[in-house]
Amino acid sequence: MKTTIKNFKLFAITGILVMSLTNCKSVQNANNKQKGAVIGATGGAVLGAIIGNNVGKGGNGELGAVIGGVVGGAAGVIIGNQMDKQAQRIEEEIPGAQVERVDDAIVVTFDENSGVYFATDKYNINSASQETLNKLIGVFKEYPDTNILVVGHTDSVGAEDYNMTLSKNRAYAVTDYLSGNGISQGRLNTNWFGETQPMHDNSTAAGRAKNRRVNVAILPSDEMVENAKQQAGN
């Protein structure tokens, strides 16, 4: 499975300039670490990878603060290189997961077909999910200078309030499992959206299965950013 990069609409004038650059053939053919230097700071791309087309429609301010901004220039190249390597390791360890490199981050999406999933109305981590998460934990330990955001979602079956609580419980089930298996609490953040942020059609069984998902975003820590700036001579 090849790592993919999502393109998101930007609304400021600077964003229009960024879009024109990303349409250039040389940028389209660049790898992620090169794009980190060319594109620079963009808005909402990681959030968009987590909540899809609803980005900008009452998005979660707290979540935006956790995600932070994008590091450009030479430091961005260094961070991009490190995140590229980590994304590749995740793909090697968990080939069923959807792995995306978005800005300075990695977004991993797990659904019922990719190793971390929950039975209907359940939020316990089953044995199959444990096996996948253990592989992910191994990668996290290889790259300790990153923070981890876990975001839970559900399909639209059932009451909205119930689904909000269910998505919260599922997201915390994942972060609790990570922290209970050697990942520092200081690296972890948890969020949830219930049924409010579907990325697929809830009127079909296949779409609902994909909406019952957990996103894991891997983000540069402050220490990682500072080290990159020092290496770049900033």
pTM: 0.75
Residue 148 lies in a domain: yes
Where do the H-state alpha helices sit in 99-193? 127-142, 160-179
Q: In angstroms, rounded to a whole number, what is the distance separating the alpha carbons of residues 148 and 191?
A: 11
Residue 6 lies in a domain: no
Residue 140 lies in a domain: yes
Question: By the 8 A CB rule, do 97 and 90 touch?
Answer: yes
Q: Which residue has the tokens 């935006």?
A: 64
CA distances from 62 to 57, 78, 103, 106, 171 (A): 14, 27, 19, 19, 16
Q: In angstroms, rounded to a whole number, what is the distance separating the alpha carbons of residues 215 and 55?
A: 15
Give the number of other Cβ atoms within 10 Å of residue 204's Cβ. Answer: 10
Mapped onto helix, strand or coil, the DSSP state of residue 71 is: coil
Confidence band (pLDDT; 50, 70, 90) for 33?
Answer: very low
Residue 108 lies in a domain: yes
Q: Which residue has the tokens 């389209």?
A: 28
* Type of residue found at 141: K
Residue 5 lies in a domain: no
Residue 56 lies in a domain: yes
CATH number of the structural domain spanning residue 57: 3.30.1330.60
- Range from 69-73, 140-144, 194-198 carrying the lowest mean pLDDT: 69-73
The whole domain housing 172 covers 13-232
Residue 40 lies in a domain: yes
What tens digit of pLDDT does each residue of 63-106 get?
666 776 677 788 889 988 999 999 999 999 998 888 999 888 99
Q: Where are the beta strands (DSSP E) in 45-178?
A: 98-102, 105-110, 146-152
Strands, sheet with 188-192, edge to edge from the N-terminal-most edge strand: 98-102, 105-110, 214-220, 146-152, 188-192
Number of compact structural domains in the chain: 1
Residue 49 lies in a domain: yes
